[in-house]
Structure 1
Amino acid sequence: MMEDVVVLGAMKTPLVGRGDELAQLMALAGVGSDPTPAAVVLGGEAGVGKTRLLHELGHRAEEAGWQVLIGHCLDFGESALSYLPFSEMFGRLGAARPEVLAALTRSTPAITRLQPGQRLLGAQGDEGEPASGTLEQQVIGGRGSDQDGVGLGRGDIFEGTHAALEQLAERAPVLVIVEDAHWADRSTCDILSSLFARGFQHPVSIVVSYRSDDLHRRHPLRARVTEWARMSRVSRVNLSHLPDRDVRTLVRAAHGASRPGQALSEREVQEIVRRAEGNAFFAEELLGAHELDHGDLPADLADLLLVRLDRLDEQARGVVRAAAAAGRRVAHDLLASVGGLSDGALNDALRAAVEANILVPWGDSSYAFRHALLAEAVYDDLLPGERTRLHAAYVSALVGGRGNGSAAELARHARAAQDRETALVASIEAGDDAMKVGGPEEAARHYQTALELLADPALADHADTSVVHLTRRASEALIDAGHPQRAAALLRDSLAAHGPDLADDDRAKLLLVLARAAMFGDDPSVNPLDLTTTALDLVGPDARPLRAHTLAVHARANVDRSRFAEGVTFAQQALTLAEELGLERTAVDAATTLGRLNEVLGDPEESLRVLSDVLEQARAAGDTAAETRALHQLGGTLMEMGRITQARGYYRQSMDLSERRSRPWAPYGADARILSGVAAYMVGDWDEVDLVTDTSHEVPPPLMASLLASIRLQVAAGRGDPSGLATLEATRTEWLADGWLAINVGGAAIDLYGDADRLEEAERAYQDVVSTVTAAWQVPAFQAQVRLSTLLLGQLASAASRLGAGGRADLLRRGDELLTVGEKTAQRRSVVGRDVGPEGRAWGQRMGAEHLRLRWLAGQDVPQQDLRRAWEETVQAFEVLEHPFEVARSQSRLAAVLRAQGEQAAAHELTAAARETAERLGALPLLAELATVDRGATPSSDDQAGPVLTPREREVLALVAEGRTNGQIARQLFISTKTVSVHVSNILAKLGASGRTEAAALARRQGLLD
Structure 2
Amino acid sequence: MVLIGRTAERAELAAALARATTGRAGVVLVSGDAGVGKTHLVSELIHAARDEGCAVLVGQCAELGESMPYLPLADALWTAAQPGAPEADAVRAALDARPVLRQLLPDGGPDPGAAAELAQQQLFGAVLGLLGELGHERPVLLVLEDLHWADQSTRHLLTFLCRVLQRERVCLVGTYRSDDLHRRHPLRPVVAELLRLPNVTGVMVAPFGPGETAAYLAELSRGSAPMTAAAVERVHRRSEGNPFYAAELYSARLDGPATGEPTELPSALADLLLSRMERLSDAGQRVVRVAAVAGRRIDDELARRVSGLDEAAVGEALREVVSHQLLVPSGTGYTFRHALLREAVYADLLPGERTRLHADFARLLAARPEGTRGVAAELAHHSLAAHDLPAAFAASVRAGDEAGRLGAPAEAVEHYERALELWDAVPDPEAAAGTDRVRLSLTAGKESARAGEPRRAVHRLRRLAEVADPADRRLGSQIREHLATYLGDIDEDDEARRTAREAVAMLAGEPPSAERAWGMATYARSLLYRDPDHEMPEYAEKGVTEARAAGALGAEAALLVTLGIWRESREADAGGVELFARARDLADTAGDSPIAAGRARFHHARAKLDRGDLVGAAVAADEGVRFVLAEGLRWSAYGIVMLSLRYLIHYTTGEWAEAARLADELPVRVVRPVEGESSAYALFVEVALGSPRAGERLRWIEPLREQDLFLNYLAGGLAAEHALWRGDLVSAAKDVDNVLGTAYGETDGAIRLAATGLWAQAELAARARVAGDAAAERAAVAAADQLLDLARTVVAVHTDGRPRAWIGLEGHAWLARAEAERLRVDGVHDVELWRRATDLFTYGDPAGDSGGGFVYEVARSRWRLAEALAETGDRDAAEAEWRAAVEVAERLGARPLLDALRDLGARARIGAAPGLRRNGDSGPLGALTGREREVLRLVADGLGNKDIAAELFISPKTASVHVSNILAKLGVATRTQAAAVAHREGLR
Aligned to 2:762, which of 774, 780, 797? 797
Superimposed CA distance per residue, residues 259-314 of structure 1 (whole angstroms, 9 cap, x where no aligned partner): xxxxx99955947999xxx9999758879998999869968699559979989974
TM-score (norm 1): 0.58
Superimposed CA distance per residue, residues 130-179 of structure 1 (whole angstroms, 9 cap, x where no aligned partner): xxxxxxxxxxxxxxxxxxxxxxxxxxxxxxxxxxxxxxxxxxxxxxxxxx
Residues in 2 aligned to 1:557 and 1:353: alpha-carbon distance in whole angstroms:
65
Shift of 1:617: 3.8
What's 1:16 paired with? Answer: 15
Q: How does 1:473-488 map to 2 (within 5 A)?
A: 473-477=443-447, 483=452, 486-487=453-454
Contact 1:800–1:811 (Cα < 8 Å) also in 2: yes
Question: Letter of the aligned partner of 1:516 in structure 2?
Answer: T
- The farther-off stretch of 926-935 and 868-877 is 868-877
Question: Letter of the aligned partner of 1:891 in structure 2?
Answer: R
Shift of 1:815: 0.5
Residues in 2 aligned to 1:731 and 1:331: alpha-carbon distance in whole angstroms:
51
* Closer/same/farther in 2, CA of residues 823 and 433 from structure 1, 3 Å limit: same
What's 1:869 paired with? Answer: 835
What's 2:705 paired with? Answer: 735
Residues in 2 aligned to 1:591 and 1:924: alpha-carbon distance in whole angstroms:
44
What's 1:970 paired with? Answer: none
Check if 1:818 corresponds to 2:817: no
Contact 1:895–1:906 (Cα < 8 Å) also in 2: yes
- The farther-off stretch of 242-251 and 826-835 is 242-251
Contact 2:701–2:715 (Cα < 8 Å) also in 1: no
Superimposed CA distance per residue, residues 453-506 of structure 1 (whole angstroms, 9 cap, x where no aligned partner): 52568459943454543454445456667x4xx22x023211454574344545
Q: How does 1:192-203 map to 2 (within 5 A)?
A: none
Shift of 1:745: 2.4
Question: Letter of the aligned partner of 1:682 in structure 2?
Answer: T
Aligned to 1:785, which of 750, 758, 771? 750
Aligned to 1:717, which of 682, 687, 697? 687
* Closer/same/farther in 2, CA of residues 451 and 833 from structure 1, 3 Å limit: farther
Check if 1:398 corresponds to 2:365: yes
Shift of 1:642: 2.3
Shift of 1:563: 7.7
Question: Letter of the aligned partner of 2:528 in structure 1?
Answer: V
Question: Letter of the aligned partner of 1:817 in structure 2?
Answer: Q
Check if 1:535 corresponds to 2:503: yes
Superimposed CA distance per residue, residues 898-951 of structure 1 (whole angstroms, 9 cap, x where no aligned partner): 33344555545544544454455554433443343233477978989xxxxxxx
Name the SS of the counterpart of 1:632 in structure 2: helix
* Closer/same/farther in 2, CA of residues 571 and 283 from structure 1, 3 Å limit: closer
* Closer/same/farther in 2, CA of residues 620 and 761 from structure 1, 3 Å limit: same
Q: How does 1:627-642 map to 2 (within 5 A)?
A: 627-642=597-612
Name the SS of the counterpart of 1:926 in structure 2: helix
Aligned to 1:549, which of 484, 496, 518? 518
Name the SS of the counterpart of 1:835 in structure 2: coil
What's 1:573 paired with? Answer: 542
Alignment gaps of 5+ in structure 2: 1-6, 23-39, 53-84, 87-133, 145-154, 189-203, 209-241, 252-272, 847-851, 916-988
* Closer/same/farther in 2, CA of residues 283 and 548 from structure 1, 3 Å limit: closer
Shift of 1:533: 2.4
Residues in 2 aligned to 1:888 and 1:794: alpha-carbon distance in whole angstroms:
16
Contact 1:654–1:668 (Cα < 8 Å) also in 2: no
Check if 1:925 corresponds to 2:886: no
What's 2:585 paired with? Answer: 616
Name the SS of the counterpart of 2:15 in structure 1: coil
Residues in 1 aligned to 2:141 and 2:633: alpha-carbon distance in whole angstroms:
24
Contact 1:329–1:367 (Cα < 8 Å) also in 2: yes
What's 1:899 paired with? Answer: 870
Aligned to 2:552, which of 569, 578, 583? 583
Question: Letter of the aligned partner of 2:676 in structure 1?
Answer: S
Question: Letter of the aligned partner of 2:864 in structure 1?
Answer: R
Residues in 1 aligned to 2:858 and 2:736: alpha-carbon distance in whole angstroms:
23
* Closer/same/farther in 2, CA of residues 840 and 672 from structure 1, 3 Å limit: same
Contact 1:736–1:769 (Cα < 8 Å) also in 2: no
Shift of 1:556: 1.8
RMSD: 5.4
Residues in 1 aligned to 2:306 and 2:664: alpha-carbon distance in whole angstroms:
46
What's 1:653 paired with? Answer: 623
Aligned to 2:485, which of 500, 506, 516? 516
Shift of 1:825: 0.7
What's 2:930 paired with? Answer: none
Question: Letter of the aligned partner of 2:546 in structure 1?
Answer: L
Q: Which has the higher contact order (CA 8 A, sep 6+)?
A: 2
What's 1:231 paired with? Answer: none
Superimposed CA distance per residue, residues 527-571 of structure 1 (whole angstroms, 9 cap, x where no aligned partner): 532332233344464485232321222122212436896333222
Residues in 2 aligned to 1:751 and 1:288: alpha-carbon distance in whole angstroms:
49
Contact 2:141–2:172 (Cα < 8 Å) also in 1: no
Residues in 2 aligned to 1:382 and 1:699: alpha-carbon distance in whole angstroms:
46
What's 1:47 paired with? Answer: 44
* Closer/same/farther in 2, CA of residues 706 and 454 from structure 1, 3 Å limit: farther
Aligned to 2:652, which of 673, 682, 685? 682
Superimposed CA distance per residue, residues 964-994 of structure 1 (whole angstroms, 9 cap, x where no aligned partner): xxxxxxxxxxxxxxxxxxxxxxxxxxxxxxx
* Closer/same/farther in 2, CA of residues 361 and 643 from structure 1, 3 Å limit: same
What's 2:905 paired with? Answer: 934
Shift of 1:817: 0.6
Question: Letter of the aligned partner of 1:897 in structure 2?
Answer: A
Residues in 2 aligned to 1:471 and 1:535: alpha-carbon distance in whole angstroms:
18
What's 1:827 paired with? Answer: 796
Question: Letter of the aligned partner of 2:681 in structure 1?
Answer: I
Name the SS of the counterpart of 1:799 in structure 2: helix
Question: Letter of the aligned partner of 1:535 in structure 2?
Answer: A
Contact 1:878–1:884 (Cα < 8 Å) also in 2: no
Residues in 2 aligned to 1:721 and 1:851: alpha-carbon distance in whole angstroms:
29
* Closer/same/farther in 2, CA of residues 916 and 368 from structure 1, 3 Å limit: farther
Q: How does 1:141-156 map to 2 (within 5 A)?
A: none
Shift of 1:785: 1.2
Shift of 1:659: 4.2
Residues in 2 aligned to 1:662 and 1:306: alpha-carbon distance in whole angstroms:
48
What is the percent sequence identity of the aligned residues?
Answer: 22
Shift of 1:52: 11
What's 2:820 paired with? Answer: 849
* Closer/same/farther in 2, CA of residues 655 and 866 from structure 1, 3 Å limit: closer
Residues in 1 aligned to 2:170 and 2:295: alpha-carbon distance in whole angstroms:
19
Residues in 1 aligned to 2:383 and 2:796: alpha-carbon distance in whole angstroms:
62
Contact 1:868–1:894 (Cα < 8 Å) also in 2: yes
Shift of 1:589: 3.4
What's 2:197 paired with? Answer: none
Shift of 1:801: 3.0
TM-score (norm 2): 0.59
Superimposed CA distance per residue, residues 650-704 of structure 1 (whole angstroms, 9 cap, x where no aligned partner): 3443344344434444444444234334434433445655665777899999554
Residues in 2 aligned to 1:351 and 1:243: alpha-carbon distance in whole angstroms:
41
Question: Letter of the aligned partner of 2:715 in structure 1?
Answer: V
Shift of 1:789: 1.0
Superimposed CA distance per residue, residues 500-520 of structure 1 (whole angstroms, 9 cap, x where no aligned partner): 43445455433322333355x
